[in-house]
Amino acid sequence: MSLESTGQLVNRFSDRLRANSYLTQGRLINVLSLLVGLLLWEFASDALGGIILAPPSDVLSRFIELTTSMALPNAIMGSMYALLVGYVLAIVTATPLGFALAQSKYVRWAVNPYIDAIYTTPVIAYLPLVVVWFGLDFEARVFFVFIFCFFEILISVFEGVKTTREEYMSVAKSFDAPWLMTQRKVIFPAALPFIFSGYRLGIGRAVRGVIVAELFLRIVNIGSLLQSAGAKLSTSQQLAVIIAVALMGVVLQRIVLGMSKQIAPWYYEQGSRSG
């Protein structure tokens, strides 16, 4: 084995050790942060009273009851269906539109006024129109999810395509690369980290959208559990459902992050080396 090969192996091993060290430190800080948060929660519950803020033990007990009775899993599955449909629709419309906006000033001139107007309007203001257009059921919930996450995805895709490095484009032009090849081989790979950042932001917004829809339209699924808990002044159930929603959002974001690491591994390897 040559000295150069030995040096490369040593560098890879040291990079792996450094990455594992960062990972261990991060997990330790995560655990300590959660423990401190639980202690503060317990103290706040004692100070405010269980009616205002249920203690962690009551919330955990209620969470287990809702899970074993299948009320919580069934509610999550019902919410997830509308969430995924709206989210996928947002992806398949916002991604190509983001590419078009970033590469054509004519598309920007034509579309930007509508995007600015819709984006700056509070989503809840569309509620009366949504009821007229889609009713109170599944289609309305899908629309709310779509409108909640569409713009985060669109803006991220736009920024990713717009900030493609000029030297990449110059190389493609120097080889007379066709337009479609330039899109597939140059612009799309360069924009992938931005695109998946938008997808991660979008899935978080999609979770919010489906909860808003289920609380303000027909009260079903997770919205029904939250509404019934509010009617009974049960803060333990409210917090249990909120924690379940938070966990659902974290899991969905982790899934999108895992997909991005599989599709664009070079970006994350570069980030870990620079860190």
Domain that holds residue 41: 1-48
pLDDT at position 148 is: 94
Q: Are residues 8 and 53 in the same domain?
A: no
pLDDT top residue among 77 and 33: 77
Yes or no: say if 67 and 73 are a contact pair by the CB < 8 Å rule.
Answer: yes
Q: Do residues 111 and 240 both lie within one domain?
A: yes
Higher pLDDT, 30 or 15: 30
Mean pLDDT calculated for residue range 126-153: 92
The answer to whether residues 4 and 120 belong to one domain is no
Q: For position 196, which CATH number holds?
A: 1.10.3720.10
Do 15 and 150 lie in one domain? The reply is: no
* Coil vs helix vs strand at 219: coil
Instruction: State the DSSP H helix or E strand holding residue 202, giving kind and residue range, or none if neither.
Output: helix 188-216
- Which pTM was predicted? 0.83
Whether residue 26 sits in one domain with residue 101 = no
Residue 161 contacts by C-beta under 8 Å, 6 or more apart in sequence?
98, 99, 102, 103, 187, 191, 194
Q: What integer is the mean pLDDT of 57-63?
A: 92
Kindly tell me if the per-residue pLDDT of 8 is higher than 70: no
Residue 158 has pLDDT above 80, yes or no: yes
| Structure tokens given for 61 | 């007990």
Instruction: Give the integer Cα–Cα distance in Å for 94 and 173.
Output: 27
Q: How far is CA 56 from CA 61, 242, 255, in A?
A: 9, 13, 28
**What mean pLDDT is predicted for residues 248-254?**
93
**Count of domains for the chain:** 2
pLDDT tens per residue, range 68-101: 999 999 999 999 999 999 999 999 999 999 999 9
Query: CB count, 10 Å around CB of 193?
Result: 18
Residue of 99 and 23 predicted with greater confidence: 99
User: What pLDDT is attached to residue 34?
Assistant: 86
Report pLDDT digits (tens) over 171-229.
Answer: 777 777 787 788 888 888 888 889 999 999 999 999 999 999 999 988 899 999 999 98
* 12 and 95 share one domain: no
265 and 160 part of one domain: yes
Of 236, 256, 255, the residue nearest 244 (C-alpha): 236
Mean pLDDT of the 3-11 span = 47
Pick from 11, 40, 47, 160: nearest CA to 98: 160
**3-state SS, one letter per residue, for 115-172:** HHHHHHCCHHHHHHHHHHHHCCCHHHHHHHHHHHHHHHHHHHHHHHHHCCCHHHHHHH
Specify whether 189 is located in the same domain as 235.
yes
Which pLDDT band holds residue 17 (cuts at 50, 70, 90)? very low
Scanning the structure block, which residue is given the tokens 């509070």? 122
Same domain, 40 and 56: no
CA dist 65 and 234 (Å) reads 14
Same domain, yes or no: 168 and 261 = yes
Q: What does the pLDDT read at residue 195?
A: 92
Rounded mean pLDDT of 129-154?
Answer: 92
Exposure string (b/e) for 88-116, b if CB count within 10 Å is 16 or more?
Answer: ebbbeebbebbbbbbbeeeeeeeeeeebe
Same domain as 94, residue 32 = no
For residue 10, pLDDT beyond 50:
no
Same domain, 5 and 20: yes
